[in-house]
Amino acid sequence: MCDRERGWSEVPLVKTWQLIAGSAVAGLALSAVTVAAAGPWDSGQRKAERDRAASWSGTGGADHAAGGLPRTAPSAPGVLAGLAPRTANAAPAGGGTLAGALAPLLADPALGTVRGASVVDTATGQVLYESGAGEAMTPASTVKIATASAALAALGPEHRIRTTVTPGAGPGEIVLVGGGDPSLTAKKKSPAGSGGSLVALAADTAQALKAAGTDTVTLGYDDSLYTGAVLHPLNDNTNIAPVTALTADEGRPDDSTSGPVARTGDPSKDTARAFAALLRDRGIKVGGEPAKAKAPAGAQPLATTLSTPLAGLVERMLTNSDNDIAEALARQTALAAGQPASFEGAEKAVTEKLASLGLDLTGSRFADGSGLNRADRLSTRHLTALLAKAADPRHPELRPVLTGLPVAGFTGTLRARNTATSPAAGLVRAKTGTLNGVNSLAGTVVDPSGRLLAFAFLASNTPDKAAAEKGLDKLAAAVAATP
């Protein structure tokens, strides 16, 4: 079903796009089919948090009949041991053991010549392990954690981006106006789930035009919401499309929804052409080729279509490491802050929004939203601070940052990593990062004692991608397995 808004009324909000994370805390006894069916809020992490909360209380989802520590509720079988209440200032259990487990793994030559590591308890803020944690390095795609946090803080998880059609400046003219929706699709059924639909927008536009007695139009398109450079400095169009405010299907020529693929060189014009064809299919004659135009100031929309809610965009971006969504969210953050929707405006807006959350960003830089730019800078301490902020009950608007992280062995960019018998499988949720010579991993895990930990590992000058990823996976598995 498409998400759309006719000019005079808005359809109800649909549910946030569901990450296929799964009930990880039930352990590897659950099948991959079960994992694929469950939503992000039913993940292993969330169940473990729920079990932990229940153990702090005399009531809740646990069986207290046997006395002593509560047993896990039948609806949420757990792999974690019973949890004893801890005070916020209690000494971190196993801190020395964690250092003993991580230090030799961090020394792996596969992790290059410059490395950083940070592990913190999200509930108390206690640092459990650090090595080179203050050094700002190229984070690759783990910078998407910052992009997501800034966008959610600026706009809220239910925000939706509009694509509209308005009357043009002259008789019989209409203008397709881009709002920067990265979920916009020209396909009858979007392969990526709910989002803005050119098909629905064309149907509503045709209906409005016919009701006004119009069956012939000229079509303009307005992508002026974004400014500055259209091409990413990387200038590699297999990883990202030109960044415009009017792009359908991420400029992809096929049915893919993630991963490298050759993109269109002019997403705005191609989107307008697709819209013109959809109007013709619905009995509206469209004269000539669509041309760039400016929607008249104050023009009331003939029809509107709405994006996936921001929470769903964040989850999709993090799960698949989607560069196109990342750059769109960075520009939406800029617009919310009154900055130009450009690479430069987004950098300023993201920095200011994250600082407003009370984060120390010394040494950081957000040259883009996707992490493709090697000028980006983050430290592992920055990354664990961002993850801890997303886990903070005082910031529920940031929770999609956690629920969108890929699940080791099951989803997204971690589907084929830390699989099978790895202690991280189904328990580690983390954002990957990869550039030539740069590898990173940052996320969360519930450790054997029940603590929700945030971890980050950055590696530079790595000689081999596959070997570096294995090294990072061993580090994450050690955090998952060490009490």
Cα separation, 122 vs 106, in Å, equals: 22
Under 8 Å between Cβ of 376 and 368? yes
Q: How many CA atoms lie within 13 A of 384 on its CB side?
A: 29
CA distances from 428 to 21, 65, 191, 239 (A): 11, 32, 27, 26
291: tokens are: 């041309």
Cα separation, 331 vs 245, in Å, equals: 9
Is 321 annotated in the active site? Answer: yes
Residues 6+ apart with CB under 8 A from 142: 371, 378, 383, 431, 432, 433, 440, 441, 442, 456, 458
Is 141 annotated in the active site? Answer: yes
Under 8 Å between Cβ of 429 and 445? yes
Using DSSP, state whether 444 is helix, strand or coil: strand
Residues 6+ apart with CB under 8 A from 30: 22, 23, 24, 426
What is the per-residue DSSP string for 454-465?
EEEEEEES-S-H
* Phi-psi region at 227: left, alpha or beta (left = phi > 0; alpha = psi -120 to 50): beta
Residues 6+ apart with CB under 8 A from 436: none
Helix axes 310-320, 323-336, angle to 10 degrees: 140
User: Which residue among 23, 118, 190, 321 is the active-site one?
Assistant: 321
Q: Where are the alpha helices (DSSP H) in 368-462?
A: 380-391, 400-403
User: Which residue among 144, 269, 389, 474 is the active-site one?
Assistant: 144
Is 43 annotated in the active site? Answer: no
Beta bridge partners of 120: 127, 454
User: Which residue among 43, 141, 194, 379 is the active-site one?
Assistant: 141
**Active-site residues: which are they?**
141, 144, 321
